[in-house]
């Protein structure tokens, strides 16, 4: 492993641990030359999961892209980044466990909404307003009413 700071190829592993339910190994390393520390991840390489967009375009699933939308929705809300990462991992795992190599963007969006509903209702509404493309206040109010009804049935 090359040191990202000085480029030296001699590094030693200080600590290894499994993350993401054992599918990834996190390694803490130290460069033998500059003594700086850095983290690497070793992950099982699976066949790509492809997302089919509304227009029919296909692109490889990106957990970081999905997380970016969730982070925007949770901005200035009491939701930790760690919790968002956990939820993103859970959604990706669920999509991959479906054994389909292609999923629709609608499936991804609905899975995110489902998780945000239990995480933070304001984040849920924020994400829904972008994902469902609210065009007017009436559509926004309908979604709020649905949220209130959902909350009643889950409590």
| pLDDT at position 46 | 67
Average pLDDT rounded to a whole number, residues 112-132: 89
Residue 115 lies in a domain: yes
pLDDT digits (tens, 9 = 90+) for 131-151: 877 777 888 788 788 878 887
Reported pTM: 0.63
Higher model confidence: residue 47 or residue 107?
A: 107
Residue 1 lies in a domain: no
Higher model confidence: residue 132 or residue 80?
A: 80
Question: Are both 25 and 58 inside the same structural domain?
Answer: no
Q: What is the largest CA-CA distance in the chain?
A: 63
Question: Are both 95 and 39 inside the same structural domain?
Answer: no
Question: Are both 77 and 125 inside the same structural domain?
Answer: yes
Total tally of structural domains belonging to the chain: 2
Question: Are both 136 and 68 inside the same structural domain?
Answer: yes
Residue 77 lies in a domain: yes
Domain of residue 146: give its range: 50-154
What secondary structure letter does DSSP report for 78? S
pLDDT at residue 58 is higher than 90: yes
**Residue whose token pair is 């967009």:** 53
Residue 98 lies in a domain: yes
- 44, 24 Cβ separation under 8 angstroms: yes
pLDDT at residue 129 is higher than 90: no
């Amino acid at each position: 492993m090359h040191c990202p700071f000085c480029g030296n190829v001699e590094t030693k592993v200080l600590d290894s641990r499994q993350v993401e339910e054992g599918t990834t190994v996190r390694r803490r390393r130290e460069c033998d030359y500059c003594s700086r520390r850095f983290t690497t991840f070793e992950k099982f390489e699976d066949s790509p999961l492809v997302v089919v967009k509304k227009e029919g375009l296909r692109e490889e699933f990106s957990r970081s892209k999905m997380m970016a939308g969730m982070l925007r929705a949770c901005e200035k809300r009491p939701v930790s980044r760690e919790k968002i990462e956990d939820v993103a991992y859970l959604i990706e795992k669920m999509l991959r466990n479906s054994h389909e190599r292609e999923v629709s963007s609608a499936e991804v969006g609905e899975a995110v909404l489902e998780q945000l509903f239990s995480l933070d209702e304001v984040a849920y509404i924020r994400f829904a307003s972008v994902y469902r493309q609210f065009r007017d206040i009436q559509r926004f109010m309908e979604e709020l009413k649905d949220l209130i009804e959902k909350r009643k049935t889950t409590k």
